Amino acid sequence: MTDQMADEPTVAIPMTSGSAGHHPDRPLPGGRVDTWRHPVAVRITHWLNVTAVVVLIMSGLNILLAHPHLYWGVRSTFADPWLSFGQIPDWLLIPQGRNLAEARRWHFAFAWLFVLNGLAYLIFAWLSGRFRHRLWPTKGDISGFWPSVVEHARFYFPKDDEARTYNVIQKLTYLVMVLVVLPMMLVTGLSMSPGFNAIGGLLLDLMGGRQSARTLHFISAALIIGFIVIHVGLVIWTGFFNNMRAMITGWFVIEPADPAKGDPL
């Protein structure tokens, strides 16, 4: 993808750690700048993960309906569940209607996609330095945590060079998702497997027993659903087309902080 850039005139634009050196900025009219944001490995693993997570949630809801009660501990206390669910509309289920046998097949097939794809992402993010450079908060990020919370609460989103890097809330959210919540789905899921329990007894005890593992599986899934709602909401709010283009082509347009400041081309 760099070859098509060869004939472009070089424009002096400050480079920050946010953009990769071999994907120089492309200046656009009105002071806007096209910057390189997502490498192809991130884009592919992102969309595979979207597919896997959506199928896992919808088939998971179908599986939940087979016994829509949650408990804490090693066994079910049928007379005294911690939480019970009522009806879930068919359109939220895979397949579209209660069917435990088929839902399980969908769930475990896409669980393999989720795990292998997630592993590929983690290895890439580690080896490429993406964790260190893009996701790990800097000292400045940490001290600016509360001001950033206030900015978000006011629905102010960074522009210009500030938009080249993730802000501290983004960094922490993404890190917690990829290092804690998503792996938690696998750990709690495996802890429900009687086959895996034969070697994962310690993990099962750590979860507090099989029914706790099942409850934690649903709590983690609820956290993922919460993340999806906020994430998709912000993707739409902060420029749906630009954000989608970035996650499909890799290129992200940065608006100047003040349009008057931009150099007309």
Nearer to another protein, 47 or 136 (CB): 47
Q: How far is CA 134 from the centre of its chain?
A: 14
Residue from the set 45, 49, 99, 170 that interacts with another protein by CB under 8 A: 99
Contacting range for another protein; rule: CB under 8 A; set: 19-27, 49-57, 136-144, 151-159: 49-57
Nearer to another protein, 51 or 128 (CB): 51
109 lies in the site for another protein, by CB under 8 A: yes
82 lies in the site for another protein, by CB under 8 A: no
CA distance 112 to 37: 28
Beta pairing, strands 33-36 & 251-254: antiparallel
Q: Tell me how far, at minimum, the Cβ of 71 lies from another protein, in Å.
A: 8
| C-beta separation of 144 from 165 below 8 A | no
Contacting range for another protein; rule: CB under 8 A; set: 26-34, 64-72, 149-157, 237-245: 64-72
Q: Tell me how far, at minimum, the Cβ of 184 lies from another protein, in Å.
A: 17
Q: Tell me how far, at minimum, the Cβ of 211 lies from another protein, in Å.
A: 5
Residue that has been written with the tokens 């001290």 in this structure: 143
Tokens of 256: 């100047």
Give the end-to-end CA distance of the chain in Å, rounded to a whole number: 24
Query: How many of the other CB atoms lie within 10 Å of CB of 175?
Result: 15
Q: How many helices (H) and strands (E) does the chain have?
A: 11, 5
DSSP code at position 132: I
Tokens of 204: 């099962």
Residue from the set 26, 76, 169, 239 that interacts with another protein by CB under 8 A: 76
Give the interface with another protein as residue ranges (CB under 8 A): 1, 40, 43-44, 47-48, 51, 54-55, 58-59, 63-64, 66-67, 69, 71, 74-79, 94-97, 99-102, 104-106, 108-109, 111-112, 192-199, 201, 204, 209-211, 214, 249
